[in-house]
A and B are shown apart, each in its own frame.
Chain A
Amino acid sequence: MSIAAIVVVALATILIGAFGIRMSRTTSDFYVASRTVSPLWNASAIGGEYLSAASFLGIAGLLITYGADMLWLPVGWTGGYLVLLVLVSAPLRRSGAYTLPDFAEARLESMAVRRVSSVLVVLIGWFYLMPQIQSAGLVFRTITGAPEWAGGLVVAAVVAANVLSGGMRSITFVQAFQYWLKLTALAVPLVFMLLAWRSDGFPGLPPGDPWALPLHGREHPLYETYSLILATFLGTMGLPHVLVRFYTNPDGRAARRTTLVVLTLLGAFYLMPAIYGYLGRVYGLPATDTVVLSLPGRLIGGMGGDLLTALITAGAFAAFLSTSSGLTVSVAGVIAQDILRGGVRSFRVATILAVVVPFALAGTARSLPVATVVGLAFAVAASSFCPLLVLGIWWRRLTTVGAMSGLLLGGGLACAAVLATITGGPDTGWMGALLSQPAAWTVPVSFTVMVVVSLLTQSRVPPGVARTMVRLHTPETLNLDRGDWRPRSL
Chain B
Amino acid sequence: MTGKPRRVVVTSPRTAAARRPRHPLTREIDEQTRLGEVYMRSLVRTQFRLALFVCTLLACLVGGLPLLFLLVPDLRSAQLLGLPLPWVVLAGLIYPAFIAGAWLYVWQAERNERDFADLVERQ
A interface residues with partner B (beta carbon < 8 Å): 68, 71-72, 74-75, 78-79, 81-83, 85-87, 90, 208, 212-216, 222, 225-226, 229, 233, 253, 256-257, 259-260, 263-264, 267-268, 270-271, 274-275, 278, 394, 466-467, 469-470, 473-475, 477-481
**CB < 8 Å: which of A82, A212, A264, A473 contacts B87?**
A212
**Interchain CB contact under 8 A, A86 and B55:** yes
Determine the distance from Cα of A87 to Cα of B37 in the docked complex, in whole angstroms.
Answer: 21
**CB < 8 Å: which of B69, B86, B92, B109 contacts A256?**
B109
Chain B, residues 91-123, CB within 8 Å of chain A (1/0): the string is 110111011011101100110011011001100
Given known A82-B54, A85-B102, A259-B102, contact A274–B117 (CB-CB < 8 A): no
Determine the distance from Cα of A394 to Cα of B43 in the docked complex, in whole angstroms.
Answer: 11
Known: A79-B58, A267-B95, A466-B40. 11 other contacts (CB 8 A): A68-B84, A68-B86, A71-B90, A82-B101, A86-B109, A213-B77, A229-B62, A267-B98, A473-B43, A478-B121, A481-B29
Q: How far, in Å, is A468 (CB) from chain B's closest CB?
A: 11
**Interchain CB contact under 8 A, A473 and B47:** yes
CB nearest neighbor in A for B45: A394
Give 9 pairs: A residue, B residue, CB < 8 Å, sorted on A. A79-B94, A213-B76, A267-B96, A271-B91, A271-B95, A275-B91, A467-B32, A474-B116, A475-B114
**CB < 8 Å: which of A82, A83, A214 contacts B86?**
A214
**Interchain CB contact under 8 A, A260 and B44:** no
Q: How far, in Å, is B92 (CB) from chain A's closest CB?
A: 7
**Interchain CB contact under 8 A, A229 and B63:** yes
**Interchain CB contact under 8 A, A68 and B90:** yes
CB nearest neighbor in A for B105: A86
What's the A-B contact tally at a CB cutoff of 8 Å?
Answer: 131
Report B-chain residues with C-beta under 8 Å of the C-beta of A222.
66, 70
What are the 7 tightest A-B residue pairs by CB atom distance, in nearest-first order?
Answer: A267-B95, A274-B91, A71-B90, A481-B30, A86-B51, A213-B76, A475-B113
Given known A214-B69, A225-B66, A478-B26, contact A85–B106 (CB-CB < 8 A): yes
Chain B interface size band reads 35 or more
Residues 30 to 85 of chain B near chain A (Cβ within 8 Å)? 30, 32, 37, 40, 43-44, 47-48, 50-51, 54-55, 58, 62-63, 66, 69-70, 76-77, 84
**Interchain CB contact under 8 A, B62 and A474:** no
Q: How far, in Å, is A461 (CB) from chain B's closest CB?
A: 14
Q: How far, in Å, is B58 (CB) from chain A's closest CB?
A: 6
Determine the distance from Cα of A213 to Cα of B90 in the docked complex, in whole angstroms.
Answer: 12
Given known A71-B87, A86-B55, contact A79–B98 (CB-CB < 8 A): yes
Determine the distance from Cα of A72 to Cα of B55 in the docked complex, in whole angstroms.
Answer: 17
Report A-chain residues with C-beta under 8 Å of the C-beta of B87.
68, 71, 212, 274, 278
**Interchain CB contact under 8 A, A478 and B120:** yes
Report B-chain residues with C-beta under 8 Å of the C-beta of A474.
29, 40, 43, 116
Determine the distance from Cα of A190 to Cα of B99 in the docked complex, in whole angstroms.
Answer: 24
**Interchain CB contact under 8 A, B86 and A257:** no
Report B-chain residues with C-beta under 8 Å of the C-beta of A226.
63, 66
Q: How far, in Å, is B85 (CB) from chain A's closest CB?
A: 10
Given known A213-B86, A256-B109, contact A263–B63 (CB-CB < 8 A): no
Given known A212-B84, A264-B99, contact A470–B50 (CB-CB < 8 A): no
**Interchain CB contact under 8 A, B105 and A85:** yes
CB nearest neighbor in A for B62: A229
Report A-chain residues with C-beta under 8 Å of the C-beta of B90.
68, 71-72, 75, 214, 274
**Interchain CB contact under 8 A, A477 and B117:** yes
Report B-chain residues with C-beta under 8 Å of the C-beta of A271.
91-92, 95
Given known A71-B86, A75-B90, A82-B102, contact A466–B109 (CB-CB < 8 A): no
Determine the distance from Cα of A478 to Cα of B53 in the docked complex, in whole angstroms.
Answer: 26
Q: How far, in Å, is A183 (CB) from chain B's closest CB?
A: 14
CB nearest neighbor in A for B67: A222
**CB < 8 Å: which of A212, A215, A268, A278 contacts B69?**
A215
Report B-chain residues with C-beta under 8 Å of the C-beta of A264.
99
Q: How far, in Å, is B105 (CB) from chain A's closest CB?
A: 5
Determine the distance from Cα of A445 to Cα of B48 in the docked complex, in whole angstroms.
Answer: 23
Report B-chain residues with C-beta under 8 Å of the C-beta of A478.
26, 117, 120-121
